[in-house]
Structure 1
Amino acid sequence: MAPTALVVMGVSGAGKSTVAALLAQRLGWEMTEADALHPQSSIEKMAAGVPLTDADRLPWLGLIRDAIAARAAAGESVVVACSALKRSYRDLLRGAEGARVRFVHLDGTPELISSRLHLRTGHFMPPSLLDSQFRDLQPLAADEDGVTVSLDQPPERMAAAALEALGLP
């Protein structure tokens, strides 16, 4: 069986890092925080309230794909917290050689996510960019390997629901 990359996706403030950490802990896999792979220029752009373009995101997504492929080459599965908002972004991530890339879309209303973003501290992504994230968001299609989990429940329940829906222990 090929190593698996479980990409926890959704807009900023959906709880990707929290749920990804829980999934990694339960599965005994390493976790990669995609935000840590952003170039400084992208972090500065977002911190200034400027949405990233596809041209900004493509090199970053390539780094994430390559990190997944490196784990797979080592025979390791990984959980990745990454927005992966558009299908084209997910298609690029699915190109990670040697890995089965699956997605967990954390889905919620703009109102709920906005309330969470306004409580968050210490992150470069300002709440003012949430609308641009929802404009870019393309939910998982029926032919994509993944599940959608509602974020109107505690993170532990979101992780359990994702594992159950994906058939993972």
Structure 2
Amino acid sequence: MTGAANGPPIVVVLGVSGSGKTTVGKAVAEQLGVPFVEGDDFHPAANIVKMSVGHALDDADRKPWLRALAERIRQSAKAREGLVIACSALKRAYRDELRSAAGGRLWCLYLALDRDTAWDRVSRRTGHFMPAGLVDSQFATLEALEPDEPGMTLDATVDLPAHLSRVRAAVAHCGERTGS
């Protein structure tokens, strides 16, 4: 599927921890026939340790993570390959950095979720370094998609098949803001 004249889209599935980024991202990648990348895999070990013990990351901590994500996106853009990447991308500045690396092909899928549902999901999750105690810090950092950012906002509590049909239609118009 080609969403932009210069190649298939690069989709960032973003939101706070517990919003379903990985689950939705894998399904979107499969539907689009492009690779899926888990953004958590790009965190330096020090970031994982810091979060595991209950300390929120700051912008300085996120810099090497964002650089690594941007480099992966740049590789796909240069090869004119599509990509779906799940990562929090909580701030506009982070998304701008990723958008720059994508050469204008970045489309964002923001999975919006309320604090209580996020906390509940994260507290029940096993085998992940992100403790529920950091959910509030993610909401404090979160900047929702702005009207000029190509992408769409979806309710993270909606059933996955409903997401997929809307996302596929929206990605076909990559480069446009498609509302909430």
Q: TM-score range by the shorter chain?
A: over 0.9
The equivalent position to 2:161 in structure 1, one of 156, 159, 169, is: 156
Structure 2 counterpart SS, 1:7 = strand
Q: Which residue pairs with 1:26 in the alignment?
A: 31
Which runs of structure 2 are paired with 1:2-151 in the superposition (5 Å)?
2-3=6-7, 4-98=9-103, 100-151=105-156
Q: Which runs of 5+ in 2 are unaligned?
A: 174-180
Q: Which runs of 5+ in 1 are unaligned?
A: none
Percent identical residues? 42
Structure 1 counterpart SS, 2:101 = coil
Cα offset for 1:155? 2.1
Distance 1:158 1:49 in 2: 32
Distance 1:97 1:160 in 2: 24
TM superposition score normalised by structure 1: 0.94
Cα offset for 1:62? 1.1
CA contact (8 A) 2:13 2:87 kept: yes
Distance 1:164 1:150 in 2: 17
TM superposition score normalised by structure 2: 0.89
Distance 1:118 1:162 in 2: 28
Distance 2:142 2:63 in 1: 16
Aligned residues: 169
CA contact (8 A) 1:69 1:99 kept: no
CA contact (8 A) 2:26 2:36 kept: yes
